[in-house]
Structure 1
Amino acid sequence: MAASSKLLTPDNCALLLIDQQAGLAFGVQSIDKQVLLNNSLALARTASAFGLPVVASTSATKVYSGPLLPALRAALPDQPVIDRRSMNVFEDETVLAAIEATGRKKLLFSGMLTEACIAFAVLSAQEAGYECFVVADACGGQSATGHEMALRRMQDGGATMTSWLQVVLELQRDWTRRATYDAARAIVEANGGGYGIGLAYARDMLPH
């Protein structure tokens, strides 16, 4: 049976990392900052494991926000990072060209702040004909209410809400896919909390 066109595959989507910077993380109140970093790092590792094109962009690096978070830089050491002035990546010609160059029409979004740089980009991408997936637990808002309202607005605009764990499991889907099995499992074990602990236990303690 052919895969549903509604599902993410390694061949049909790209990841946008938007303003994953310490200066913006300082203001995040919608999620514990360490949890946000864990989830964003898991998503970056997922992109690397499955060979997804990544477009990373920052803003105000020298004024306030700082560079791409070191953990993400370590996970994606060769990834170019595009600095910009506009809050909306779809209003920056360099970023827009990089998105178009991926050739993908399904876009995953992760970053800060949900109320601004994520929401503006997603609404613009939807209007431009892209299918948008907001990785909600890898986005941070200035407040829990602001984050939720931004998610609702994007969903009303046609975007799909998802989580980093759903993304990695959706891309893998079949644990007999050996090419990505080890990497996918390692991501879940390292970043997946109780589920990851369970996978590690099954590997170490139960007969295969």
Structure 2
Amino acid sequence: MAFNKFTAENAAMLLIDHQVGTMGWAKSMPFEELKRNTLMLAKSAAILNMPVLLTSSMEEHTQGPLLEEMRSILPAAFEKRIKRMGIVNAMDDDNFAAAVRATGKSKLIIAGVTNDVCTVYPALTLAAEGFDVQVVADAGASPTKMADDIALRRMENNGITLTTTNQLIAELAGSWTTPQGEKLIQVLMESFQ
């Protein structure tokens, strides 16, 4: 089977519910690591000028607002974020589903908090609809390691490719010697210092 690479041209990124309250519940990974990886994805998408959709659920409640840094990294996507009112599967929200389809991309990169609720259902829905889906496992987390493991296995068993932040950024870069590649390697270097 041929490797069908994800690129900035053929993929869109969906960042689901990276809200300060929800991220605090995701104990399978340290909060700062989860935040760092999420912001690395956002910065990479901005450098590559990729289509990005942001969504949140019940920002006015304990879930809280999206990470504030998203506003400066992805200002247009932040302003256009789709606010869901308690709909668990983001793909069951008509506005979000329409926005995903409007990207015109068949390859989707998904990261969400939590993996065991906010990520698993839209990923399964999109895979079942024929989209090629990669889930960035370390830009999401769950309340427990078991919950995270079961959610990731469930997605993988349904044809979803699991990846990590670094692995995805390298795949999208293709080469560190291009102008965009040089900026992406800086994102990696800054994040790990």
TM value normalised by structure 2: 0.94
Aligned length: 189
Counterpart-to-counterpart distance in 1, 2:176 and 2:37: 21
Give the aligned residue type for 2:6.
L
Q: CA deviation at 1:177?
A: 1.9
Give the aligned residue type for 1:54.
V
Partner SS, residue 168 of structure 1:
helix
1:21 equivalent in alignment to 2:14: no
1:41 equivalent in alignment to 2:42: no
State whether residues 174 and 181 of structure 2, in contact with CA within 8 Å, keep that contact through their aligned partners in structure 1.
Answer: no
Partner SS, residue 90 of structure 1:
helix
Q: CA deviation at 1:66?
A: 1.6
Give the aligned residue type for 1:186.
Q
Extract structure 1 runs of 4+ deviating beyond 3 A: none
Partner SS, residue 55 of structure 2:
strand
Counterpart-to-counterpart distance in 2, 1:188 and 1:26: 24
List alignment gaps of at least 5 residues for structure 1.
198-208
Corresponding residue of 2:158: 157
Partner SS, residue 63 of structure 1:
coil
Give the aligned residue type for 1:129.
G
- String of CA shifts for 1:158-184, please: whole Å, max 9, x gaps: 100001111111111222323x13321
Equivalent runs, 1:41-60 vs 2, <5 Å: 41-60=39-58
Corresponding residue of 1:172: 173
List alignment gaps of at least 5 residues for structure 2.
none
Alignment root-mean-square deviation, CA: 1.2
Equivalent runs, 1:52-91 vs 2, <5 Å: 52-79=50-77, 80-85=80-85, 86-91=87-92
Counterpart-to-counterpart distance in 2, 1:100 and 1:5: 24
Counterpart-to-counterpart distance in 2, 1:24 and 1:112: 7
Partner SS, residue 26 of structure 1:
helix
Equivalent runs, 1:111-130 vs 2, <5 Å: 111-130=112-131
- String of CA shifts for 1:110-166, please: whole Å, max 9, x gaps: 121111110011111111111110100101111111001100000001100001111
Q: Which moved more, 1:163-172 or 1:33-42?
A: 163-172
Equivalent runs, 1:123-142 vs 2, <5 Å: 123-142=124-143
Which has the higher Rg, Structure 1 or Structure 2?
1
Corresponding residue of 1:187: 187
